Amino acid sequence: MFKKIAIFGVGLIGGSFALALKKAGAVEQVVGVGRQLETLQRAQELGIIDAIAGSVADAVAGAELILIAAPVAQTGAILASIAPHLQAGTIVTDAGSTKSDVVLAARATLGGKIAQFVPGHPIAGREQNGPEAALAELYVGKKVVLAPLPENGEQDIARVAAAWQQCGALIHRLSPQQHDAVFAAVSHLPHVLAYALVDDIANKPHAASLFQYAASGFRDFTRIAGSSPEMWRDISLANQAALLGELDAYLLQLTRLRGLLAAGDGPALEAVYSNAQQARHSWISAIEAAEQQNKEGGD
Amino acid sequence: MFKKIAIFGVGLIGGSFALALKKAGAVEQVVGVGRQLETLQRAQELGIIDAIAGSVADAVAGAELILIAAPVAQTGAILASIAPHLQAGTIVTDAGSTKSDVVLAARATLGGKIAQFVPGHPIAGREQNGPEAALAELYVGKKVVLAPLPENGEQDIARVAAAWQQCGALIHRLSPQQHDAVFAAVSHLPHVLAYALVDDIANKPHAASLFQYAASGFRDFTRIAGSSPEMWRDISLANQAALLGELDAYLLQLTRLRGLLAAGDGPALEAVYSNAQQARHSWISAIEAAEQQNKEGGD
């Protein structure tokens, strides 16, 4: 049980964390901090937070856990505002989509208090944003990656893990570098590819005619190109090195496929398509088996 | 009303055409032709076809309309088998995903009877295949692109259009070249990109760990990589020239984006993402408005 939790950013991610912990009876008081008073008021009306902090100092004072769930580019500034008020015994964690840059920012701002920061990333989301989109069930059966630092105490890591587990999440551990390499491949690169395709088509002189014939395959393929441009600009830059590596590997792959197509090499093209189809099929089967197990194991 | 329609390939596409026309009371007899007797028997049990043709000659004799709904690479061979039996007054159409190659094959096999072939492409599908997947409602509100030849009579084009309209489809007209250019951009290229990404990830030494963290965005982005490798090998080769053009344009676009990322040019990256997001949003809004209109206009 947490007596007081402070949440910086009471939108979908922070709001769902608060709702889930409240539903589990795992927290007495949730205090919200943010740049827009209106959003905080809305979160309070919705029962997500119990109080709006008058200042960062007030928010941090006496908090056992602080979650930073604001856009990832703001993490450094938020940590800097927290640092002077951070008491021993308070754990800070975050929900950012990138980790190496967050760790850099944390080291620069928290200095000697770095052991109190346990980096994290819940792998969950919805199309909608803001406190209205928050759901107590958002994290049920979802993964939360913790990317602890060598300085973190195991007890503090366990405390953050326990909070997410009370939201229904499954805890995974990766180093910040591993985390960023993994998500560059399976999340950040696909976003760039989808944005690139839609922008490419939208800039053609006959774009309107092209879009007219786009169907459900295109709709699903480009769904992630409907995501926030600001957020993805920040993620792209925050994970620049790993993303460049994945992008280069993909450009090579695509150039190789172009060669097969230009040569009319049907068997080689089919081998690539077939390998992809089988890999995706195995992946989907594994997901479905895990979901089934979660259901059976749950109550 | 059609007295007799012959369908080559009684799976999802051909089977749904038959079911829709039967439901509309627009056909007296549907005869099925195919390579696998078992599939034809299943289609007959399901009420998709009324009879299994003993030979191509039997199927074609007295048919007012012939639909070729087999894999697109078989179109040439099927047309060649039809040609010697094709009577004046019978119209042949197809459902292939590419049109220029189909027209080439039709000219080579039908010769002086080319005016009787009206190329077509219904823009509809499901994950499942085979006669069991066929639905009388598959084409309701969906587009069917007709790509008529200069030799086609307007009356014959209208007869094919009317059949699809009785299935609930909306008729569009493009030249075979326009058709292939459009679908290279909005369908064939996305398939290649999705196959390329999944194959790329599947071939990495740590593929299992990567797939473990892939979430719903990845799932949607790669859904089309679950499609039939044989079918997409054939489509890739059949539409080689247009697909190479789109692939080259995309490689340029991606190389440009790579440059922006390497330079850390946040505003330029955001401009690309934002243009894509807005274009996709407008497209989705237009689709939803059209669907609403279809619903209100329908009975």
Counting every residue written for chain B, the total comes to: 299
Same domain assignment for residues A93 and A198: no
Contact criterion met (CB below 8 Å) for B26 and B17: no
Contact criterion met (CB below 8 Å) for A158 and A91: no
Residue A295's pLDDT is 67
Same domain assignment for residues B11 and B158: yes
Same domain assignment for residues B188 and B134: no
Euclidean distance between the first and the last CA atom of chain B, given in angstroms as a whole number: 21
Question: Given an 8 Å threshold on Cβ–Cβ distance, is A222 in contact with B280?
Answer: yes
Residue A89's pLDDT is 93
Same domain assignment for residues B201 and B155: no
Q: What is the CATH number of the domain that holds B242?
A: 1.10.3660.10
Nearest to B226 among A143, A186, A280 (CB): A280
* Tokens, residue B10: 């009684």
**B9-27 residue pLDDT tens:** 999 999 999 999 999 999 9
Contact criterion met (CB below 8 Å) for A98 and A180: yes
Residue A296's pLDDT is 66
Last residue within a domain, chosen from A114, A148, A174: A174
Question: Given an 8 Å threshold on Cβ–Cβ distance, is A221 in contact with B197?
Answer: no
Same domain assignment for residues A52 and A160: yes
How far is A192 from B191, CA to CA, in rounded Å?
16
Same domain assignment for residues B167 and B232: no
Nearest to B240 among A189, A257, A261 (CB): A261
How far is B108 from B100, CA to CA, in rounded Å?
12
Question: Given an 8 Å threshold on Cβ–Cβ distance, is A262 in contact with B244?
Answer: yes
B93 contacts: CB under 8 Å, gap ≥ 6: B65, B66, B67, B68, B117, B118, B119, B120, B160
Domain region containing B113: 2-174
Tell whether A163 is covered by a domain: yes
Contact criterion met (CB below 8 Å) for B195 and A276: yes
Would you call B205 an interface residue with chain A, using a CB distance cutoff of 8 Å?
no
Same domain assignment for residues A45 and A121: yes
Question: Given an 8 Å threshold on Cβ–Cβ distance, is B250 in contact with A284?
Answer: no
**pLDDT exceeds cutoff 50 at B298:** no
* Tokens, residue A30: 């949730």
As for how many domains chain B has, the answer is: 2
More confident of the two residues B216 and A85: A85
A 155-184 residues with CB below 8 A of B?
172, 182-183
Residue A298's pLDDT is 46
Closest CA to A46 of A84, A80, A15: A15
Q: What is the CATH number of the domain that holds A140?
A: 3.40.50.720
Share of chain B above pLDDT 90, in %: 92
Tell whether A60 is covered by a domain: yes
Same domain assignment for residues B168 and B182: no
Tell whether B118 is covered by a domain: yes
SS3 string, chain B, reads CEEEEEEECCCHHHHHHHHHHHHCCCEEEEEEECCCHHHHHHHHHCCCCCEECCCHHHHHCCCCEEEECCCHHHHHHHHHHHHHHCCCCCEEEECCCCCHHHHHHHHHHHHHHHHHEECEEECCCCCCCCHHHCCCCCCCCCEEEECCCCCCCHHHHHHHHHHHHHCCCEEEECCHHHHHHHHHHHHHHHHHHHHHHHHHHHCCCCHHHHHHHCCHHHHHHCHHHHCCHHHHHHHHHHCHHHHHHHHHHHHHHHHHHHHHHHCCCHHHHHHHHHHHHHHHHHHHHHHHHHHHHHHHHCC
Residue A260's pLDDT is 98
Give CA separation, A92 vs A63, A64, A159, in Å.
10, 9, 11
CA B136 from chain centre, in angstroms, equals 17
Over range B162-185, report the average pLDDT.
97
Last residue within a domain, chosen from A141, A174, A207: A174
How far does the CA of residue A55 sit from the closest CA of chain B (Å)? 31
Same domain assignment for residues B37 and B102: yes
How far is B156 from B116, CA to CA, in rounded Å?
8
Same domain assignment for residues B167 and B36: yes
**B222-267 residue pLDDT tens:** 999 999 999 999 999 999 999 999 999 999 999 999 999 999 999 9
Tell whether B94 is covered by a domain: yes
**B58-78 residue pLDDT tens:** 999 999 999 999 988 899 999
**B205 contacts on A by Cβ (under 8 Å):** none
Tell whether A276 is covered by a domain: no
Same domain assignment for residues A152 and A189: no
Closest CA to B281 of A124, A71, A211, A204: A211
* Tokens, residue A230: 């600001």
Residue B263's pLDDT is 98
H or E element in which residue A119 lies: none
Burial class of residue A55 (count of CB atoms within 10 Å of its CB; 0-12, 13-18, 19+)? exposed
**What does the mean pLDDT of chain B come to?**
95
Nearest to A281 among B145, B226, B230 (CB): B226
A120 forms beta bridges with: A146
- What amino acid is encoded at B209 in this protein? S
Would you call B141 an interface residue with chain A, using a CB distance cutoff of 8 Å?
no
Tell whether B294 is covered by a domain: no
Tell whether A240 is covered by a domain: yes
Question: Given an 8 Å threshold on Cβ–Cβ distance, is B185 in contact with A210?
Answer: yes
A 107-136 residues with CB below 8 A of B?
123-125
Contact criterion met (CB below 8 Å) for B5 and B90: no
Residue A292's pLDDT is 79
Tell whether B285 is covered by a domain: no
User: Which residues of chain A register pLDDT less than 50?
Assistant: 298-299
**B103-152 residue pLDDT tens:** 999 999 999 999 999 999 999 987 788 999 999 999 999 999 999 999 99
Contact criterion met (CB below 8 Å) for B270 and A229: yes
Contact criterion met (CB below 8 Å) for A63 and A6: yes
Same domain assignment for residues B170 and B196: no
**pLDDT exceeds cutoff 80 at B299:** no
**pLDDT exceeds cutoff 60 at B297:** no
